[in-house]
């Protein structure tokens, strides 16, 4: 009798461990293929304020959030962005877009952002963008 009780204890312990392992495994291992959102067509779904700063005609959009007073944004605009424009934007692979994102700790970023928007209304956004980041 004692031997049967010991065997039942071991069997019950194994069942509990296996059941616990299955519960944990089911929580962390997805069942089936991952569910991805369906995208039928994304042409023309760019918000108007971003589309106003679009440069190029590519079907892939590179959207940049930047602050005109940020030294790192300026370094990117001077060193990396010309290469991106030459290799991807001018060849029609990528459409470059800019979103003004002035930070509160940069006192001149807000006015610079406003100046860029005003220049954009005159069709000169990218010229002003380049001029602001040069200084």
Q: How far apart are CA 59 and CA 133, in angstroms?
A: 26
Show Cβ contacts of residue 114 under 8 Å, excluding neighbours closer than 6 positions. Answer: none
| Region class of 117: left (phi > 0), else alpha (psi between -120 and 50), else beta | alpha
In which domain, by residue range, is 91 found? 48-134
The CATH number of whichever domain residue 78 belongs to comes to 3.40.30.10
- Residue 2 pLDDT grade (very low, low, confident, very high; cuts 50, 70, 90): confident
pTM: 0.62
Identify the pLDDT of residue 108.
92
23-27, 60-64, 93-97, 114-118: lowest mean pLDDT where?
A: 23-27
pLDDT at 57 over 90: no
Residue 90 domain flag: yes
3-state DSSP assignment of residue 130: helix
Torsion angle defined by CA atoms of residues 113, 117, 120 and 124, in that order, rounded to the nearest 10 degrees: -40
Give the percent of the chain with pLDDT over 70. Answer: 82
pLDDT at 44 over 70: no
- Residue 3 dihedral angles phi and psi, to the nearest 5°: -70, -40
Residue 22 domain flag: no
Residue 24 domain flag: no
Residue 10 domain flag: no
Q: How far apart are CA 61 and CA 38, in angstroms?
A: 19
Number of domains comprising the chain: 1
Residue 11 domain flag: no
Show Cβ contacts of residue 117 under 8 Å, excluding neighbours closer than 6 positions. Answer: 100, 125
Residue 62 domain flag: yes
Residue 20 domain flag: no
**Spatial contact of 78 and 117, defined as CB atoms under 8 Å apart:** no
* pLDDT tens digit sequence for 7-42: 888 888 888 888 888 878 777 776 666 555 554 445
Across all residues in the chain, what is the average pLDDT? Answer: 83
């Amino acid at each position: 009798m004692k031997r049967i009780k010991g065997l039942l204890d071991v069997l019950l312990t194994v069942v509990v461990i296996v059941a616990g392992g299955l519960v944990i495994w089911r929580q962390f291992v997805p069942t089936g293929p991952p569910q991805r959102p369906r995208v039928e067509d994304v042409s023309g779904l760019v918000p108007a304020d971003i589309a106003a700063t679009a440069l190029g005609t590519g079907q892939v959009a590179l959207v940049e959030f930047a602050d005109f007073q940020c030294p790192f944004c300026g370094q990117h605009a001077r060193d990396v962005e010309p290469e991106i424009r030459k290799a991807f934007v001018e060849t029609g692979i990528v459409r470059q877009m800019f979103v003004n994102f002035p930070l509160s700790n940069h006192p001149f970023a807000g006015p610079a952002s406003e100046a860029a928007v005003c220049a954009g209304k005159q069709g000169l956004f990218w010229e002003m963008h380049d001029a602001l980041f040069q200084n």
